Structure 1
Amino acid sequence: MFNIATYGTLEKLINTTFSYMTMVVLLLLMPTLADAAKKPGTPATPYTYYSVGNPDMTPSVAQTRPDPSYVLMGGGPDVDEAFRWMIQRAGITPATGGRLVVIRATGDGGYNPYIYYSGRKSSVSNTYQDGWVGGASLGLTSVETLVIPSTAAANDPFVNAVVSRANAVWIAGGDQTDYFRYWKGQALETTLNGLMQKNVPIGGTSAGLAVLGGFDFSGFNGTVTSTQALTDPYNLYMTFDPSPLSTSGGFIAPPVFANMIMDSHLDSRDRMGRLVTFVSRLISLHTMAGTQQLGCTGGVLQNNTARGIGVGVEAALLVQRNSDGSHTGRRVTNVSTTTESAIYFVNVTQGPTVCASGRPLSIPTSAIQIRKLADDTSRINLSDWSAYPVYKSGGVESGSLFPTNPY
């Protein structure tokens, strides 16, 4: 019971009581007010959204580009020059502005400052860090990251609105299984395909690279080692997209990579054996010289048309279409790289002689061709690899790859 004497006057008691009542009402309303004040990217949404720069500014650069551009990055430290190239290929300049959108299923907005801000010498703001891309100084008006961890997020109107207005798209690393499970067949895939129709530059690293082939290692049962793949090409971990293998139905498959499958961290994780097996699995069964059956059950491509690209850490393959319709690729890496940062191109000229469940893979001697791009001046014609020299050739005997050091 309140004591009026304690408060001095009845008026003070009334005012104090009213203040308490007001606080109670506000406390009761707080969840409602908080919900009303929520912005895109808060926990109430199925996605998380981060931005830097001015995402509300409308760039004047045309979103549709004359030719497509792709970046295949092999994981590890990101390659600064690859992002600068994407910005340039998007037609972005300081006069036009432009948006770069990062999509991922896990993680945060860590790419935003790295891509947007600059090193000390070229910074246009008070935020700088040596080794950053410098997108703002090149003309980016914003870098936006969307964490899209569910089918609900992949179908969210805000998510698709942000992605649809991008002038360049980057698919971050992580677990490609998430991308197939959450993004494939959803509105986000339709949005990405629409951007590819406009030749908006698209790139990815590690898992983001893995989903850019016409065929992809999906990883639905976990990763697979080279030894596991060579020992049994149909083991539990050898899962692909599309499944079953098909020349159509792949996830966001750019036409230039229609007959290809990608792999990352190639040399640092010794993945050449599994890349050779991936390529082999794409080759259909056929009969050679009227007697010998070659290829793999479930394969859908002919000899020598199935190809694989393996990218080493801290390396990126920049792919562009030229005026004659061909596609060329060149390698870039960081000056600070501590590895060879090479890119490998693998094809099998003669299908496997043994490719069956529970049996080690066998491929004729010299039927495997490996081309290696390890400098920043050479170019490889991705429409026809034949003009680029073979680095090493080899085979597989009872599950053992030779030469034993294909790098």
Structure 2
Amino acid sequence: MHVALFRQHALRLVHALVAAIALVGLQAHAGSDKISGGGKNVSGKTSYAYYVTGNPELTPVIRKKPSSPSTVLMGGDSDVDAAFRWMIDRAGITQSSGGRFVIIRATGADGYNCYVYYSNYPTCTSTGTAQPGSVGGAALGLSSVETLVIPSPDAANDAKVNEIVGRANVIWIAGGDQSDYYKNWRGTALEQTLDQARARNVPIGGTSAGMMILPRFDFAALRGSVTSAQALADPFNKYMTIEPQPLAQPGFIVAPGLETAIVDAHLDERDRMGRLMTFMARLVRSDGATGCAGGILSGTANAQDAARAIGLAIQTALLIEGPAGAQTAVRVSNPGAPGTNAAYLLRPSIAPETCVPGSPLTMRGITVRKITDSQPFNFSNWDSLPFKEAQIVNGTLSNFSY
């Protein structure tokens, strides 16, 4: 009897310990990549989730609406607080105006709400001066932060979902898996709503997978990820799902100034320079014996339609503003962030020599501009920026350190 009682108490203790460990793990996970904040799904639907912080019923009165586009490209890992504040400012939101900040994602929950709205993430009680690691959106004038988890085409076509996204003053695309965005959002009403928001100059940004879908050309990861070694060994291997296909078709979500670009995140942390160069090579059209099959852009740097590639280190963001053709950009990163904290701007000087299925890539004269300061620069024309030159020969990136 005593043994049975002991076992019962022991079992309860184990269950309590497992629950405690799970809770700690959930809290740590939520704090690191903004997946779950413990809020309530108020959608009333099973097809999508909707989380609200603040007052979404307040109608913002923004007196100076944005007159040109604003885009944030963020390289993943911990979010860059300054980039979110910049988007709020670019939206024309002030301390007295109100403003709606809407996060869209295909998985996860409401982890961004607390971080963006409050000033003391992850405690989430203060709306005063923002502490490091928090955006402090309420103090800047946000009246609400709203997250939509949109996991299917049905959800992306839902009228209420599109109403919420359509009235946003700022839109953020969370990280995750960009293939989810392609499979569930492409060709839906949500894509049209995002196009309309872009046309109204609503600031739009994304991190990691959310960043990957912002240029005209996207590594969509429809068959999973790809390493630099795999990409360089065969630019047409089965994992190299670059969208749209064919490339001449309209892009998915195309931020102004990224009409000839492809991007990549976690660049230094995951050694992705080789695959980013290969992504760019795939965009270059065939011209005699050079170029890549299916490519549609020029491989000459000074051509108007020259291919471009942009890579971001973790905890680093590129803030791009102004109309296409007359844009400026600035790099920002978290204080003390690990890695290079760099933005990398790539262009070809000449078309690839060997870019065919089943063979290693050979591409010489790749110009790489490494941005590590916080000085604004001409994003539409990179010619004044210093660069290094990289060579890929038979699938090997030679003598190049980044």
> What TM-score, normalized to structure 2?
0.85
Name the CA distance, whole Å, in 1 between partners of 2:284 and 2:325. 26
User: Are residue 232 (structure 1) and residue 230 (structure 2) matched?
Assistant: no
User: Are residue 385 (structure 1) and residue 387 (structure 2) matched?
Assistant: no
Structure 1 residue matching 2:270: 3-state secondary structure: coil
Q: Deviations over 1:43-62 (max 9, x none)?
A: x4310000101011110015
Corresponding residue for residue 312 of structure 1: 313
Corresponding residue for residue 33 of structure 2: none
1:249 positional shift:
1.3
Name the CA distance, whole Å, in 2 between partners of 1:63 and 1:164. 19
RMSD value, Cα: 2.0
Q: Give the residue type in structure 2 aligned to 1:72.
A: L
Query: Conserved in 1, the CA contact under 8 Å of 2:128 and 2:139?
Result: no
Structure 1 residue matching 2:139: 3-state secondary structure: helix
Q: Deviations over 1:5-61 (max 9, x none)?
A: xxxxxxxxxxxxxxxxxxxxxxxxxxxxxxxxx98424x431000010101111001
The correspondence of residues 1-400 of structure 1 with structure 2, limited to 5 A, is: 40-42=42-44, 44-61=45-62, 64-119=65-120, 125=127, 130-246=132-248, 248-287=249-288, 293-303=289-299, 304=301, 305-321=306-322, 326-364=326-364, 367-376=365-374, 378-390=375-387, 392-400=388-396
Name the CA distance, whole Å, in 2 between partners of 1:129 and 1:379. 25
Structure 2 residue matching 1:162: 3-state secondary structure: helix
Query: Conserved in 2, the CA contact under 8 Å of 1:232 and 1:361?
Result: yes
1:254 positional shift:
1.8
Q: Give the residue type in structure 2 aligned to 1:389.
A: P
Structure 1 residue matching 2:383: 3-state secondary structure: helix
Name the CA distance, whole Å, in 2 between partners of 1:300 and 1:278. 13
Corresponding residue for residue 19 of structure 1: none
Q: Residues 126, 295 of structure 1: CA spacing in aligned structure 2 closer, same or farther, 3 A cutoff? A: closer
Name the CA distance, whole Å, in 1 between partners of 2:250 and 2:85. 32
Name the CA distance, whole Å, in 2 between partners of 1:62 and 1:174. 35
Q: Give the residue type in structure 1 aligned to 2:397.
A: L
Query: Conserved in 2, the CA contact under 8 Å of 1:214 and 1:255?
Result: no
1:375 positional shift:
1.4
Corresponding residue for residue 27 of structure 2: none
Q: Give the residue type in structure 1 aligned to 2:294.
A: G
Structure 1 residue matching 2:328: 3-state secondary structure: strand
Query: Conserved in 2, the CA contact under 8 Å of 1:174 and 1:206?
Result: yes
Q: Residues 127, 71 of structure 1: CA spacing in aligned structure 2 closer, same or farther, 3 A cutoff? A: closer
1:381 positional shift:
1.5
Q: Deviations over 1:164-183 (max 9, x none)?
A: 00000000000000001000
Task: Work out the number of aligned pairs and report it.
Answer: 356
Structure 1 residue matching 2:60: 3-state secondary structure: coil
Larger radius of gyration: 1
Q: Deviations over 1:357-376 (max 9, x none)?
A: 00000113xx1100011111
Structure 2 residue matching 1:196: 3-state secondary structure: helix
Q: Give the residue type in structure 1 aligned to 2:362.
A: S
Q: Mean alpha-carbon deviation: is it higher for 249-258 or for 193-202? A: 249-258
Name the CA distance, whole Å, in 2 between partners of 1:48 and 1:393. 47
1:404 positional shift:
4.0
Query: Conserved in 1, the CA contact under 8 Å of 2:328 and 2:378?
Result: yes
- Structure 2: give runs of 5+ residues left out of the alignment: 1-39
1:131 positional shift:
1.9
Query: Conserved in 2, the CA contact under 8 Å of 1:229 and 1:238?
Result: yes
Name the CA distance, whole Å, in 1 between partners of 2:252 and 2:338. 33
Q: Give the residue type in structure 2 aligned to 1:87.
A: I
- Structure 1: give runs of 5+ residues left out of the alignment: 1-37, 288-292
1:157 positional shift:
0.9
Query: Conserved in 2, the CA contact under 8 Å of 1:63 and 1:200?
Result: no
